């Protein structure tokens, strides 16, 4: 039990005292046959009405899939919107500090900079695990970003480290589980009730194959969700996104089958990558991508570009010199990649 954590002390004063915008759909959400309350165009084309600001139908489906009450969820225009909402709800610009454990997902830093926050940049250790001592030495920070499996390194954060931080960090812990559906460890959703300081982020962009519709999921205590609801743009998830997500979330088997295939392809790629002479290290991966260390990342990157294949060059990132990140594609795509890699190997 984390006795140091007090949500009240973390909410920005302007947010606490804010009288939120109340939309037409907030003020009347029952069933009626005539809606003359939102200045919409009355002629039905499928999208002439404002969307449900709380996306209840979609949250109901997600709640079945995730095993968590609808009231413990906030949906956003991608996880990126929820990251921004969190910073705006809890962190005072040019005053408050957030902790980022690098190398990790770049949006944490960019979102923090946009919100003019102080950034405590702590390095992950040689196993890409967070620096617990460094984090607890900065226990006056409002928010700590953790990513597990981490992008771009592909590893999970050890459970022991995670629980220690959840028990001892005084601020909010944002645990980004964008890739959890590919991982051996289970999501922390089941343990949310134990940790009032925990916010879990998931997304439909990766395992569910819906990057194009932009839908991110934030999961936390009702109290945290209420604060975020207060400041979110009223209609942040549009009708087309809500409808398409509901449709595709109906087919859990499709997503499970795709995940299985991607994991099988990943095992094959891990094995094949280790056989290439220019590959110095293949990092273990709990996600749908693989990080490799090569002799000359720029040369390989450029060679593949000329073959029409784009991977992610991470060589300019601290601790990732000469590293490249490769997403797992379809069988055909992966085979094309390896044809090119073998050709590069021969040169
Ligand atoms: C891809 C990714 C996301 C997804 O962001 P969306 O805005 O939901 O598409 C979130 N976090 C990490 C670490 C990612 O790699």
What string of DSSP letters covers 155-179?
A: PPPPHHHHHHHHHH-SSEEEEE-TT
Q: Which atom of ligand 1 is nearest to the CA of 203?
A: 8
CB 82 within 8 A of CB 74: yes
pLDDT tens figures, 131-159: 999 999 999 999 999 999 999 999 999 99
Would you put residue 168 in left (φ > 0), alpha (ψ -120 to 50) or beta? alpha
- The predicted structure's pLDDT at residue 3: 78
Helices (H) and strands (E) in the chain, counts: 13, 11
Mean pLDDT of 102-113: 98
Give me the mean pLDDT over the 104-115 stretch. 98
CA dihedral 108, 110, 113, 119 (to 10 degrees): 40
Q: How far is the CA of 211 from the centre of ligand 1 (A)?
A: 9
Would you mind telling me the total number of residues written for the chain in this entry? 347
Q: Is the pTM of this model over 0.85?
A: yes
Q: 4: pLDDT confidence band, cut at 50, 70 and 90? A: confident
CB 102 within 8 A of CB 256: no
For the chain, give the mean pLDDT: 97
The CA–CA distances, whole Å, from 236 to 56, 95, 123, 210, 245 equal: 13, 28, 34, 17, 14
Question: CB under 6 Å to ligand 1: residues?
Answer: 78-80, 105, 147, 151, 176, 178, 203, 205-206, 211, 216
**Sole residue written with tokens 């094949």:** 272
User: Which pLDDT does position 218 carry in this prediction?
Assistant: 98
Helix or strand or coil: residue 218? strand
* Residue 30 pLDDT class (50, 70, 90 cuts): confident
Report d(CA 156, CA 33) in Å as an integer: 51
Question: What domains does the chain contain, in order, with CATH numbers?
Answer: 7-250 (3.40.640.10), 253-346 (3.90.1150.10)
Q: Compute the distance between CA of residue 221 and CA of residue 195 in angstroms, rounded to an integer.
A: 8
Q: Give, for 127, the enclosing helix (H) or strand (E).
A: none
Closest atom of ligand 1 relative to the 77 alpha carbon: 7
Compute the Cα dihedral for 53, 56, 57, 63 and give only its sign: positive
Q: Could you report the per-residue pLDDT of 178-223, keeping only the tens digit for each?
A: 999 999 999 999 999 999 999 999 999 999 999 999 999 999 999 9
Structure tokens, 314: 């991470």
| Residue whose CB lies within 8 A of the most ligand 1 atoms, among 104, 106, 151, 156, for a mutation test | 151
Tokens (6 digits) for 268: 């094959």
pLDDT at residue 22 is higher than 90: no
């Amino acid at each position: 039990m984390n006795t140091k954590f007090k949500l009240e002390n973390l909410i920005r004063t302007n947010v606490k005292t804010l009288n939120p915008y109340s939309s037409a759909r907030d003020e009347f959400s029952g069933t009626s046959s005539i809606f003359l309350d939102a200045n919409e165009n009355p002629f039905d084309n499928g999208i002439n009405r404002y969307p449900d600001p709380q996306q209840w139908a979609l949250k109901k489906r997600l709640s079945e899939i995730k095993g968590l009450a609808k009231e413990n969820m906030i949906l956003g225009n991608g996880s990126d919107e929820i990251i921004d909402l969190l910073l705006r709800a809890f962190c005072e610009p040019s005053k408050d500090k957030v902790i980022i454990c690098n190398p990790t997902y770049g949006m944490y830093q960019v979102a923090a900079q946009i919100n003019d926050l102080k950034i405590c940049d702590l390095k992950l250790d040689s196993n890409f695990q967070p620096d617990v001592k460094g984090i607890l030495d900065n226990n006056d920070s409002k928010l700590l970003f953790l990513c597990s499996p981490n992008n771009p390194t592909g590893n999970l954060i050890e459970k022991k480290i995670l629980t220690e931080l959840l028990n001892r960090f005084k601020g909010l812990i944002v645990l980004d589980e964008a890739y959890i559906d590919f991982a051996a460890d289970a999501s922390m959703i089941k343990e949310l009730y134990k940790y009032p300081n925990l916010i879990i982020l998931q997304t439909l962009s990766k395992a569910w194959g819906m990057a194009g519709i932009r839908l991110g999921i934030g999961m936390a205590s009702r109290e945290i969700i209420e604060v975020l609801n207060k400041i979110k743009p009223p209609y942040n998830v549009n009708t087309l996104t809500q409808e398409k997500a509901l449709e595709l979330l109906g087919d859990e088997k499709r997503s499970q089958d795709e995940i299985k295939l991607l994991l099988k392809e990943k095992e094959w790629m891990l094995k094949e990558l280790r056989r290439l002479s220019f590959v110095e290290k293949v990092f273990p991966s709990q996600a749908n991508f693989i990080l490799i260390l090569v002799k000359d990342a720029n040369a390989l990157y450029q060679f593949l570009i000329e073959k029409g294949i784009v991977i992610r060059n991470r060589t300019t990132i601290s601790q990732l010199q000469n590293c490249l990140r490769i997403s797992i594609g379809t069988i055909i795509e992966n085979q094309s990649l390896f044809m090119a890699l073998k050709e590069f190997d021969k040169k």
